[in-house]
Amino acid sequence: MDLTHQTMWVQDKAGKRTFGPVPIRSGRKAFPTRAGMKKIYAKKVKEWSTLYNVSMPYSQYFDGGQAFHAYAGAMSDPPGSHGCVNMRYSDAKALFSVTRTGDQVYIWGRKP
């Protein structure tokens, strides 16, 4: 995932792109999406954030409470998420179908 360009994609071990690139919406200044090498450790089709009182469809957790998940608004909506990686509903659903628990997630760059 490229925080600088607010895009993400999936590659196989040979480096062939198998999904994306698609636009994302990462964490706002006070709640940045943490960069580095991560792993998907949990996947839930229907999820609810009790912390922020919001639905998080197609959640895939990769670092603490940070996850990929569907977002109803536009990817360009400021100021950003609370650290999660927001995706269009169709992209989050498609990503959910191509990843598995244990898959690596590499996050680099800095949100503009």
Over residues 88-101, the pLDDT tens digits come to 999 999 999 999 99
Is 35 one of the annotated active-site residues of the chain?
no
Is 25:77 a contact under the CB 8 Å cutoff? yes
> Across the chain, what does the average pLDDT equal?
96
Beta bridge partners of 59: 44
**What percentage of the chain reaches a pLDDT higher than 70?**
100
Q: What pLDDT, on a 0 to 100 scale, did the predictor assign at position 112?
A: 83
Which residues of the chain have a pLDDT value below 50? none
CATH class of 7-107: mainly beta
Can you say how many angstroms the Cα of residue 71 is from the centroid of all Cα atoms in its chain? 10
Which of 69, 88, 92, 107 is flagged as catalytic? Answer: 69
Is 82 one of the annotated active-site residues of the chain?
no
The token duo for 54 is 């919001």
Residue type, 78: P
What span, in angstroms and rounded, lies between the C-alpha atoms of 25 and 82? 10
Which of 56, 70, 84, 85 is flagged as catalytic? Answer: 84
- When computed from its CA atoms, the radius of gyration of the chain, rounded to whole angstroms, is 13
